[in-house]
């Protein structure tokens, strides 16, 4: 890996990482089937990945980390007969955990328009939010982007993971809470490991089917909606039904119970007015032992209901990184290690309760003290991290808490001038 930071900053950052590992080696996660896992590292003083490492004993892994002080540490979601073999075919694949990755970068959060920036390097035109594929002014694809992760981003990623667990993995796929290993990645989101023996042998194609289900890929709304009429009534979907039909029915019931202007934007003024006027009758019909959607259809019409349901599907589906889930040889961050782009630890969370309480805050950092830094790139003036203002032009000098300073230096947005503990 090629580093943009100067030698002084790199050495200071490595020294801080070394101090962390000396004091916190007991925080390094030891996965099941430890001796059958491949480990990989990116080091401060070498480019590329040092991988295809296997350790017979936990102490060997700990000694490697202490001696080499990695900037990034990974282990395989797969288990192998010979994890140290450099040829993937020679490793002897035995199975792989089912893993989900939810990253704030993949979520369409409004806060991106507050902190993300882009600039055309050809003509200088710039804007806020996610970068376009090409410059709207000159058409160049030479776009420089500045991305950030804030408390709102992490909150959105957290809620997406909770939705994945509570809407899909437990009720639909039958996993238990005890099967779940929930991990904060140390940067932009969360990893979820399904530690279930039955999942180990799933093929990439089978894992893709799971991804398609939670992301609603290939879901045809028209085939899910009831069309059968009996004596003029339209038989609806039971609110307790499992799968996508039940999810859609419950969300419609929720929206009809508390109608708001967002529905008007979807179905139009006339249909929205009818929906509000008939809401009590719709709720009563949907709640019956044999649920009916007769009044719902009459209020919205077939097209209006279809539009509403498609919007509901977009709300319910989960944005997971499909490449991570379908990969049966994936390397993933080692919990307890430090993330080399933030200086924050990769943290295992104790169940859904701890996940719900999780926040991006300075207490996550194991480092204490203050530091003087100099910005090496322009940072938007409105940006804050851990409650501190970090924006400024290139060359601006700032005095910050050590966790904030490390975060900026690790992201190669600043250089250390002095550290005070």
Over the stretch 86-136, which tens digit does the pLDDT of each residue have? 999 999 999 999 999 999 999 999 999 999 999 999 999 999 999 999 999
The residues, ordered by sequence, that sit 6+ positions from 100 with a Cβ below 8 Å of its Cβ are 161, 164, 191, 192, 194, 320, 321, 324, 325
The rounded percent of the chain whose pLDDT value lies above 70 is 98
What average pLDDT is seen over the chain? Answer: 95
Q: What is the mean pLDDT of residues 260-273?
A: 94
Tokens matching residue 379: 């940072």
Read off the pLDDT of each residue in 136-141 and give the average, rounded to a whole number: 95
Residue 355 has pLDDT above 80, yes or no: yes
Q: Identify the active-site residue in 26, 45, 87, 321.
A: 321
Task: Give the tens place of pLDDT for each residue, 285-306.
Answer: 999 999 999 999 999 999 999 9
State the pLDDT at residue 378.
92
pLDDT for the residue numbered 227: 78
Q: How confident is the model at residue 230 (pLDDT cuts 50, 70, 90)?
A: low
Domain residues of the chain, as ranges?
7-102+169-209+322-361, 112-146, 221-316, 367-421
pLDDT average, residue stretch 375-394: 94
Listed in sequence order, the DSSP H helices in 2-128 are 7-24, 58-68, 88-91, 112-115
- Asked if 191 contacts 74 with a C-beta cutoff of 8 angstroms, the reply is no
For residue 233, the cross-strand partners are 230
pLDDT band of residue 210 (cuts 50, 70, 90) is very high
Residue with tokens 């991570």: 324
Q: Are 194 and 180 in contact (CB under 8 A)?
A: yes
Among residues 103, 116, 179, 327, the one annotated as catalytic is 103
**Distance in angstroms (rounded) separating the CA atoms of residues 14 and 70:** 8
- Report whether 333 contacts 339 (CB < 8 A): yes
For residue 1, pLDDT beyond 70: no
Q: Is 169 helix (H, G, I), strand (E, B) or coil?
A: helix
Q: Which of 101, 116, 179, 327 is catalytic?
A: 101
Long-range contact pairs involving 295-304 (C-beta distance under 8 Å, separation at least 24): 296/234, 296/236, 296/252, 296/256, 297/234, 298/274, 299/271, 299/274, 299/275, 300/267, 300/271, 300/274, 300/275, 301/271, 304/266, 304/267, 304/268, 304/271
Identify the CATH homologous superfamily for domain 7-102+169-209+322-361: DNA primase, PRIM domain (3.90.920.10)
Q: Is 321 a catalytic residue?
A: yes
Calculated CA dihedral for residues 208, 210, 216, 222, nearest 10 degrees = 100
Q: What value does the mean pLDDT take over residues 229-237?
A: 83
CATH number of the structural domain 367-421: 3.40.5
């Amino acid at each position: 890996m090629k580093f943009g930071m100067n030698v002084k900053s790199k050495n200071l950052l490595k020294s801080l990482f070394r101090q962390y590992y000396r004091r916190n080696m007991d925080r390094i996660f030891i996965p099941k089937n430890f001796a059958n896992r491949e480990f990989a590292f990116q080091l401060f003083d070498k480019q590329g990945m040092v991988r295809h490492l296997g350790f017979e004993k936990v102490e060997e892994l700990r000694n490697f980390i202490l001696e080499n002080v990695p900037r990034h540490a990974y282990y395989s979601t797969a288990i192998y007969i010979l994890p140290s073999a450099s040829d993937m075919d020679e490793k002897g694949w035995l199975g792989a955990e089912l893993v989900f990755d939810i990253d704030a970068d993949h979520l369409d959060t409004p806060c991106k328009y507050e902190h993300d920036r882009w600039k055309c390097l050809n003509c200088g035109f710039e804007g806020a939010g996610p970068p376009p594929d090409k410059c709207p002014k000159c058409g160049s694809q030479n776009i420089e982007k500045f991305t950030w992760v804030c408390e709102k981003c992490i909150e959105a990623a957290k809620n997406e993971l909770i939705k994945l667990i509570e809407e899909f993995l437990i009720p639909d796929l039958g996993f238990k809470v005890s099967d779940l290993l929930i991990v904060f990645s140390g940067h932009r989101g969360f990893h979820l490991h399904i530690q279930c023996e039955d999942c180990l042998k799933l093929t990439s194609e089978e894992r893709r089917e799971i991804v398609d289900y939670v992301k609603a890929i290939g879901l045809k709304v028209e085939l899910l909606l009831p069309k059968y009429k009996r004596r003029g009534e339209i038989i609806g979907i039971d609110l307790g039904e499992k799968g996508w039909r039940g999810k859609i029915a419950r969300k419609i019931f929720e929206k009809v119970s508390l109608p708001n202007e967002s529905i008007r934007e979807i179905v139009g003024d006339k249909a929205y007015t009818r929906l509000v006027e008939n809401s009590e009758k719709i709720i009563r019909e949907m709640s019956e032992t044999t649920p009916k959607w007769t009044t719902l259809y009459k209020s919205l019409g077939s097209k209006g209901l279809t539009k509403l349901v498609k919007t509901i599907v977009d709300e319910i589906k989960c944005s997971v990184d499909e490449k991570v889930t379908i990969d049966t040889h994936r390397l993933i961050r080692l919990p307890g290690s430090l993330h080399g782009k933030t200086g924050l630890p990769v943290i295992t969370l104790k169940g859904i309760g701890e996940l719900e309480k999780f926040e991006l805050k300075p207490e996550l950092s194991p480092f204490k003290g203050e530091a003087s830094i100099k910005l090496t790139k322009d940072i938007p003036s409105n940006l804050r991290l851990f409650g501190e203002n970090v924006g400024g032009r290139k060359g601006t000098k700032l005095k910050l808490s050590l966790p904030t300073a490390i975060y900026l230096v690790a992201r190669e947005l600043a250089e250390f001038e002095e550290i005070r503990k």
